[in-house]
Structure formats: C-alpha cells, structure tokens
Structure 1
Amino acid sequence: MKKILISGLFLGLFSLQANADYVSPSNSISNQAARYSVMDVASLSQAAKSGQAGAQFYLGTKYEYGKDVKQDDKQAFAWYKSAADQGLTAAQLNVGRMLIDGKGTSKNEALGRQYLEKAASRGDNRASFNLAMLDEKKRNFIGAYQWYELSTRDGMLDNKVISLSEGKKTALAANLTQEQIRQARDRADRWIQGL
C-alpha cells in the first residue's frame, strides 16, 4: 500500500489519458512537472541526460509528438524507457504500449506486459485497462475481467477508465459464469495482496 501511495503521489505530477493511447502530459500538473513541460529542448535534454526521470518523460513526449523537435519514435521510446526504468509509472505505461505495438522499438508483447504490470502494480488503472484489453483480444475473458476489475479499484484512479472498465465488465459477464467471475475477482484480490 505504501508503494502505491508514494507512486500515486509522484504520478500525480502527470495527468494522462486513459485507454490504449500513449499518454502525454496535461495542463494541470505540479510545479516540478510544469517546469519540464515548458523547458526549452536544450535545457530539457540536459536535465534528461543528467538522469531526471521527469525530464526524460517530457523529452520522450516531445519526440513522440514532434513538438519542438523532429518526430522520432525511437528517441521517444529510448527516453520513456530511461524514465520507466527509474520507476516513473507514466513512462512504464508508454513503454509497455510501445513494445506491444512495436512503435519505436521491436515488437515484444511479453516485455510490454511486464512494463504494464509494473505500472499497474503502482496503482495506474490505465495500465490495468490495457492489460485487460490484451487478454480480451486473446479471448482470455477471465484474465480480462480480472484486469478490468483491478482497473476500477487501483490507487491512481482515472474516472474515464473506471467508467470504461465497468462497461467492459458488464459485457464480459455475459460470456462468463458466476463462478468464473468469482475466480476473476479472487485473482484480482490475490494480485493486489501480492504487491
């Protein structure tokens, strides 16, 4: 729980989109993150190279969307990964999606799942939602229900994700028995307890 709260506080620096999209910063962020979001590319690059995870994330965002630099998915992935490997949840979410989609890097669903699970373990319900979509696509409906269930109760809650997940759970319930739903909820409980 302590890990979720600390990560939730740090992630609070970044307001991110919910769904399979890659995330980018919004206008309502803390002073530290705001500093990075308005920093010129040279200063941001210097801060990123010095190991500042927030700067690495924002530099990755600039490269991904071609803002003030030439759009470059490989550079975006590299900077997101640097931030993700320092534990920045928003970057872990982006790295997971990029690995799964093969955007800016070689496609690697297994490694992408690992990054999404790291973000989910820190309470990012958007990561849980993405994991649910992966399982649903593979017709692993119990697994999908488990992740949708988690995305409705993770520590860093995005209301859009909660609403989407509730709808997805209702739709999946039509394909599952009550026992399978109970199983999925039990798996979600065990996953949280294992953190």
Structure 2
Amino acid sequence: MKAQTDLGLAYGSGNSIPQDYTKAMYWYNQAAKQGYAPAQFNLGLFYENGWGGSRDLQLAKEFYRKAANQGFTNAQINLGILFMDGKGGD
C-alpha cells in the first residue's frame, strides 16, 4: 500500500517522473481500496481540488472521512474545514 501511494505521489508531483494525475489517482485508488489512510487523504485532496478530473466535494469528503476515521490528522483537519466553510453537506 505504501509503495502504491508512493507511486501516486511521484505521478502527482512530477518530481521524479512525468506528472500524470490520472496515473496518480489510479495508484492512490489501489492503496485506498485496501484501507490505507494516506492514500485516502490524497484522493480527498485530488477530488477537492479537481486535480485529474472534475472537482467533487462529496467524494473528497468521503475519502477524508475514511482517513479521518483511522485517526489521520490531516484528513480530520480538511474534513473539518469543509464543514466549517459550509461545504461538508450532511
């Protein structure tokens, strides 16, 4: 899971390989499906910001919540900000 997330980071940043958000999301999804909180958090970032596709705050919230429920602090913060800004929905 960490290796998959690291590939996502590499593709997302473009620091060591050509930047490709589609491939980044693919690798984050592979790790997120296995319950890996850092990958779930990064997918939340991608959906919140519209990187690699359309902005989708519902999906951002869903992935932040999955990571937050595992105690991933950055996801808890970002989820709280969505709610504070009135973008959290239910």
TM-score normalised per structure 2: 0.88
Return the alpha-carbon distance in structure 2 between the equivalents of residues 97 and 124 of structure 1: 14
Per the alignment, do residues 139 and 78 of structure 1 end up closer, same or farther by CA in structure 2, a change over 3 Å counting?
closer
Per the alignment, do residues 139 and 64 of structure 1 end up closer, same or farther by CA in structure 2, a change over 3 Å counting?
closer
Identity level (%): 35
Q: Which of residues 104, 122, 134 is equivalent to 2:52?
A: 104
Return the alpha-carbon distance in structure 1 between the equivalents of residues 37 and 74 of structure 2: 10
**Matched residue pairs, number?**
89
Q: Does the Cα contact within 8 Å between 2:57 and 2:87 map onto a contact in 1?
A: no
Larger radius of gyration: 1
Query: For residue 33 of structure 2, what is the amino acid of its counterpart?
Result: D
Query: For residue 90 of structure 1, what is the amino acid of its counterpart?
Result: P
1:57 paired to 2:44 = no
Instruction: In structure 2, list runs of 5 or more residues that go unmatched.
Output: none
Return the alpha-carbon distance in structure 2 between the equivalents of residues 103 and 131 of structure 1: 18
By relative contact order (CA 8 Å, sep 6+), the higher-ranking structure is 2
SS in 2 for 1:106: coil
Tell me the equivalent position of 1:91: 39
SS in 2 for 1:105: coil
RMSD: 1.8
Instruction: In structure 1, list runs of 5 or more residues that go unmatched.
Output: 1-52, 144-195
Tell me the equivalent position of 2:67: 119
- Runs (4 or more) in structure 1 with deviation over 6 Å come to none
Return the alpha-carbon distance in structure 1 between the equivalents of residues 26 and 87 of structure 2: 32
Per the alignment, do residues 120 and 71 of structure 1 end up closer, same or farther by CA in structure 2, a change over 3 Å counting?
same
Please list the CA deviations of residues 52-97 of structure 1 after superposition, one character each: whole Å capped at 9, or x if unmatched. x121101111111112210111211111111111111000000011
SS in 2 for 1:117: helix
1:66 paired to 2:14 = yes
TM-score normalised per structure 1: 0.43
Structure 1 stretch displaced more, 113-122 or 61-70: 61-70
1:80 paired to 2:1 = no
How far the C-alpha of 1:112 sits from its partner, in A, is 1.3
